[in-house]
Structure 1
Protein backbone atom coordinates (compact mmCIF):
# COMPACT_ATOMS: atom_id res chain seq x y z
CA UNK A 1 0.00 0.00 0.00
CA UNK A 2 1.11 3.53 -0.61
CA UNK A 3 2.50 5.57 2.23
CA UNK A 4 0.83 8.78 3.37
CA UNK A 5 3.26 11.07 1.52
CA UNK A 6 2.62 9.39 -1.83
CA UNK A 7 -1.11 9.65 -1.22
CA UNK A 8 -0.74 13.34 -0.38
CA UNK A 9 1.22 13.96 -3.60
CA UNK A 10 -1.56 12.27 -5.59
CA UNK A 11 -4.10 14.34 -3.65
CA UNK A 12 -2.35 17.56 -4.64
CA UNK A 13 -2.40 16.58 -8.30
CA UNK A 14 -6.09 15.73 -8.08
CA UNK A 15 -6.76 19.02 -6.26
CA UNK A 16 -5.12 21.06 -9.04
CA UNK A 17 -7.21 19.21 -11.60
CA UNK A 18 -10.37 19.77 -9.53
CA UNK A 19 -9.58 23.45 -9.05
CA UNK A 20 -9.10 23.82 -12.80
CA UNK A 21 -12.51 22.21 -13.35
CA UNK A 22 -14.02 24.53 -10.73
CA UNK A 23 -12.57 27.58 -12.48
CA UNK A 24 -13.97 26.36 -15.80
CA UNK A 25 -17.35 25.66 -14.19
CA UNK A 26 -17.33 29.07 -12.55
CA UNK A 27 -16.52 30.83 -15.81
CA UNK A 28 -18.71 28.85 -18.20
CA UNK A 29 -21.81 27.73 -16.31
CA UNK A 30 -24.44 29.77 -14.47
CA UNK A 31 -23.61 27.81 -11.28
CA UNK A 32 -20.54 29.83 -10.36
CA UNK A 33 -21.15 29.89 -6.61
CA UNK A 34 -21.46 26.09 -6.51
CA UNK A 35 -18.13 25.62 -8.29
CA UNK A 36 -16.44 28.24 -6.11
CA UNK A 37 -17.81 26.49 -3.02
CA UNK A 38 -16.46 23.14 -4.22
CA UNK A 39 -13.07 24.70 -4.85
CA UNK A 40 -12.99 26.42 -1.47
CA UNK A 41 -13.98 23.24 0.33
CA UNK A 42 -11.49 21.11 -1.60
CA UNK A 43 -8.73 23.59 -0.81
CA UNK A 44 -9.47 23.53 2.91
CA UNK A 45 -9.94 19.74 2.81
CA UNK A 46 -6.51 19.29 1.26
CA UNK A 47 -5.08 21.60 3.90
CA UNK A 48 -6.68 19.35 6.54
CA UNK A 49 -5.15 16.28 4.91
CA UNK A 50 -1.75 17.99 4.90
CA UNK A 51 -2.12 18.67 8.63
CA UNK A 52 -3.02 15.01 9.17
CA UNK A 53 0.03 13.88 7.17
CA UNK A 54 2.35 16.10 9.21
CA UNK A 55 0.88 14.98 12.51
CA UNK A 56 1.07 11.30 11.53
CA UNK A 57 4.77 11.75 10.75
CA UNK A 58 5.31 13.34 14.15
CA UNK A 59 3.27 10.58 15.78
CA UNK A 60 5.40 7.88 14.09
CA UNK A 61 8.68 9.56 15.10
CA UNK A 62 7.52 9.95 18.70
CA UNK A 63 6.33 6.35 18.80
CA UNK A 64 9.76 5.13 17.64
CA UNK A 65 11.55 6.93 20.47
CA UNK A 66 8.89 6.09 23.06
CA UNK A 67 7.64 9.64 23.49
CA UNK A 68 3.96 10.47 23.90
CA UNK A 69 2.08 12.58 21.37
CA UNK A 70 -0.64 14.94 22.51
CA UNK A 71 -2.97 14.76 19.51
CA UNK A 72 -3.23 14.33 15.76
CA UNK A 73 -4.43 17.89 15.17
CA UNK A 74 -8.15 17.22 15.34
CA UNK A 75 -8.94 20.64 16.77
CA UNK A 76 -6.90 22.39 14.08
CA UNK A 77 -8.61 20.42 11.30
CA UNK A 78 -12.02 21.09 12.84
CA UNK A 79 -11.19 24.79 13.05
CA UNK A 80 -10.17 24.78 9.39
CA UNK A 81 -13.52 23.26 8.44
CA UNK A 82 -15.30 25.91 10.49
CA UNK A 83 -13.24 28.59 8.73
CA UNK A 84 -14.29 27.27 5.31
CA UNK A 85 -17.94 27.27 6.37
CA UNK A 86 -17.55 30.76 7.84
CA UNK A 87 -16.18 32.07 4.55
CA UNK A 88 -19.10 30.49 2.68
CA UNK A 89 -21.61 31.92 5.16
CA UNK A 90 -20.02 35.36 5.11
CA UNK A 91 -19.91 35.58 1.31
CA UNK A 92 -23.00 33.67 0.09
CA UNK A 93 -23.07 35.61 -3.18
CA UNK A 94 -19.74 33.95 -4.11
CA UNK A 95 -19.67 30.58 -2.27
CA UNK A 96 -22.42 27.99 -1.96
CA UNK A 97 -22.42 26.55 1.59
CA UNK A 98 -23.48 22.97 0.78
CA UNK A 99 -20.93 22.65 -2.03
CA UNK A 100 -18.26 23.99 0.33
CA UNK A 101 -19.08 21.23 2.81
CA UNK A 102 -19.06 18.64 0.03
CA UNK A 103 -15.71 20.04 -1.12
CA UNK A 104 -14.29 19.52 2.38
CA UNK A 105 -14.95 15.79 1.98
CA UNK A 106 -13.44 15.45 -1.51
CA UNK A 107 -9.85 14.71 -0.33
CA UNK A 108 -11.16 11.87 1.83
CA UNK A 109 -13.09 10.46 -1.13
CA UNK A 110 -9.85 10.64 -3.12
CA UNK A 111 -8.15 8.80 -0.26
CA UNK A 112 -10.66 5.94 -0.32
CA UNK A 113 -10.61 5.71 -4.12
CA UNK A 114 -6.81 5.64 -4.11
CA UNK A 115 -6.75 2.93 -1.47
CA UNK A 116 -9.29 0.89 -3.43
CA UNK A 117 -7.34 1.24 -6.69
CA UNK A 118 -4.13 0.28 -4.91
CA UNK A 119 -5.85 -2.78 -3.42
CA UNK A 120 -7.22 -3.84 -6.80
CA UNK A 121 -3.82 -3.41 -8.47
CA UNK A 122 -2.14 -5.36 -5.68
CA UNK A 123 -4.63 -8.23 -5.92
CA UNK A 124 -4.44 -8.36 -9.74
CA UNK A 125 -0.63 -8.50 -9.63
CA UNK A 126 -0.79 -11.39 -7.18
CA UNK A 127 -2.84 -13.62 -9.51
Structure 2
Protein backbone atom coordinates (compact mmCIF):
# COMPACT_ATOMS: atom_id res chain seq x y z
CA UNK A 1 0.00 0.00 0.00
CA UNK A 2 2.95 2.26 0.62
CA UNK A 3 4.01 1.95 -3.04
CA UNK A 4 0.51 2.85 -4.19
CA UNK A 5 0.33 6.04 -2.12
CA UNK A 6 3.80 7.00 -3.35
CA UNK A 7 2.68 6.44 -6.95
CA UNK A 8 -0.46 8.53 -6.42
CA UNK A 9 1.45 11.45 -4.96
CA UNK A 10 4.10 11.24 -7.68
CA UNK A 11 1.55 11.29 -10.50
CA UNK A 12 -0.41 14.18 -8.98
CA UNK A 13 2.84 16.09 -8.45
CA UNK A 14 3.70 15.72 -12.13
CA UNK A 15 0.21 16.85 -13.12
CA UNK A 16 0.62 20.01 -11.04
CA UNK A 17 4.02 20.64 -12.63
CA UNK A 18 2.44 20.36 -16.07
CA UNK A 19 -0.35 22.71 -15.00
CA UNK A 20 2.26 25.22 -13.80
CA UNK A 21 4.02 25.05 -17.18
CA UNK A 22 0.71 25.66 -18.96
CA UNK A 23 -0.12 28.62 -16.72
CA UNK A 24 3.32 30.07 -17.43
CA UNK A 25 2.73 29.56 -21.16
CA UNK A 26 -0.63 31.29 -20.87
CA UNK A 27 0.91 34.23 -19.06
CA UNK A 28 4.06 34.74 -21.11
CA UNK A 29 3.14 33.83 -24.70
CA UNK A 30 0.72 35.06 -27.33
CA UNK A 31 -1.11 31.71 -27.43
CA UNK A 32 -3.59 32.40 -24.64
CA UNK A 33 -6.45 30.40 -26.18
CA UNK A 34 -4.31 27.30 -26.66
CA UNK A 35 -2.86 27.44 -23.17
CA UNK A 36 -6.26 28.26 -21.65
CA UNK A 37 -7.63 25.13 -23.32
CA UNK A 38 -4.69 23.09 -22.04
CA UNK A 39 -5.24 24.48 -18.53
CA UNK A 40 -8.96 23.67 -18.63
CA UNK A 41 -8.46 20.14 -19.95
CA UNK A 42 -5.52 19.35 -17.70
CA UNK A 43 -7.27 20.81 -14.65
CA UNK A 44 -10.36 18.67 -15.24
CA UNK A 45 -8.25 15.59 -15.97
CA UNK A 46 -6.17 16.17 -12.81
CA UNK A 47 -9.41 16.16 -10.84
CA UNK A 48 -10.50 12.99 -12.65
CA UNK A 49 -7.15 11.32 -11.92
CA UNK A 50 -7.41 12.22 -8.25
CA UNK A 51 -11.03 11.01 -8.12
CA UNK A 52 -10.07 7.70 -9.77
CA UNK A 53 -7.22 7.16 -7.34
CA UNK A 54 -9.44 7.91 -4.34
CA UNK A 55 -12.06 5.45 -5.55
CA UNK A 56 -9.43 2.77 -6.21
CA UNK A 57 -8.15 3.29 -2.68
CA UNK A 58 -11.68 2.92 -1.27
CA UNK A 59 -12.28 -0.26 -3.25
CA UNK A 60 -8.93 -1.64 -2.06
CA UNK A 61 -9.85 -0.90 1.54
CA UNK A 62 -13.24 -2.58 1.00
CA UNK A 63 -11.56 -5.73 -0.31
CA UNK A 64 -9.26 -5.81 2.70
CA UNK A 65 -12.19 -5.39 5.07
CA UNK A 66 -14.24 -7.98 3.10
CA UNK A 67 -16.92 -5.43 2.31
CA UNK A 68 -19.57 -7.14 0.19
CA UNK A 69 -21.04 -3.89 -1.10
CA UNK A 70 -20.71 -3.39 -4.86
CA UNK A 71 -18.53 -0.41 -5.69
CA UNK A 72 -17.71 1.26 -8.97
CA UNK A 73 -14.92 3.53 -10.13
CA UNK A 74 -17.30 6.37 -11.06
CA UNK A 75 -16.90 6.34 -14.82
CA UNK A 76 -20.06 8.41 -15.26
CA UNK A 77 -18.69 11.17 -13.02
CA UNK A 78 -15.42 11.32 -14.94
CA UNK A 79 -17.24 11.36 -18.29
CA UNK A 80 -19.51 14.15 -17.04
CA UNK A 81 -16.57 16.34 -16.01
CA UNK A 82 -14.90 15.77 -19.39
CA UNK A 83 -18.18 16.64 -21.12
CA UNK A 84 -18.39 19.78 -18.98
CA UNK A 85 -14.92 20.83 -20.17
CA UNK A 86 -15.99 20.24 -23.78
CA UNK A 87 -19.19 22.24 -23.32
CA UNK A 88 -17.29 25.14 -21.76
CA UNK A 89 -14.79 25.10 -24.63
CA UNK A 90 -17.61 25.04 -27.20
CA UNK A 91 -19.47 27.82 -25.41
CA UNK A 92 -16.43 30.11 -25.26
CA UNK A 93 -14.31 29.40 -28.36
CA UNK A 94 -12.65 32.82 -28.13
CA UNK A 95 -11.16 31.85 -24.75
CA UNK A 96 -10.56 28.08 -25.04
CA UNK A 97 -9.18 26.11 -27.96
CA UNK A 98 -11.20 22.88 -28.27
CA UNK A 99 -8.30 20.76 -29.56
CA UNK A 100 -6.13 21.96 -26.68
CA UNK A 101 -8.88 20.99 -24.22
CA UNK A 102 -8.94 17.47 -25.68
CA UNK A 103 -5.14 17.23 -25.46
CA UNK A 104 -5.34 18.43 -21.86
CA UNK A 105 -7.92 15.75 -21.08
CA UNK A 106 -5.45 13.11 -22.33
CA UNK A 107 -2.51 14.44 -20.28
CA UNK A 108 -2.87 12.11 -17.25
CA UNK A 109 -2.64 9.04 -19.46
CA UNK A 110 0.70 10.25 -20.74
CA UNK A 111 1.81 10.91 -17.16
CA UNK A 112 0.72 7.41 -16.08
CA UNK A 113 2.59 5.77 -18.98
CA UNK A 114 5.78 7.73 -18.34
CA UNK A 115 5.53 7.02 -14.61
CA UNK A 116 5.13 3.32 -15.36
CA UNK A 117 8.25 3.25 -17.53
CA UNK A 118 10.31 5.13 -14.93
CA UNK A 119 9.10 2.79 -12.20
CA UNK A 120 9.87 -0.31 -14.27
CA UNK A 121 13.38 0.84 -15.12
CA UNK A 122 13.95 1.64 -11.45
CA UNK A 123 12.74 -1.81 -10.42
CA UNK A 124 14.84 -3.62 -13.01
CA UNK A 125 18.01 -1.76 -12.04
CA UNK A 126 17.29 -2.36 -8.35
CA UNK A 127 16.87 -6.12 -8.97
CA UNK A 128 20.25 -6.34 -10.65
CA UNK A 129 21.89 -4.69 -7.69
CA UNK A 130 23.31 -1.65 -9.47
TM-score normalised by L of structure 1:
0.89
C-alpha distance in structure 2 between counterparts of 1:32 and 1:50, whole Å: 26
- Conserved? CA contact 1:36–1:96, under 8 Å: yes
Alignment of 1:4-23 (within 5 A): 5-23=5-23
Q: Which residue of 2 aligns with 1:57?
A: 57
Q: Residue 24 of structure 2: SS of its match in structure 1?
A: helix
Give the gaps of 5 or more residues in structure 2. none
Contact 2:22 2:38 in 1 (8 A): yes
Deviation at 1:45, TM superposition (A): 0.5
Q: Distance in 2 between matches of 1:61 and 1:2?
A: 15
Residues 87, 8 of structure 1: alpha-carbon distance in 2 compared, 3 angstrom cutoff: farther
Is structure 2 residue 53 aligned with structure 1 residue 72? no
Q: CA deviation at 1:35?
A: 0.7
Superposed counterparts of 1:116-127, under 5 Å: 116-127=117-128
TM-score by length of 2: 0.87
Who is 1:96 aligned against? 97
Q: How many residues align?
A: 126
Which 4+ residue blocks in structure 1 deviate beyond 6 angstroms? none
Distance 1:6 1:97 in 2: 33
Q: Cα RMSD (Å) of the superposition?
A: 1.7
Cα shift at 1:33: 0.7
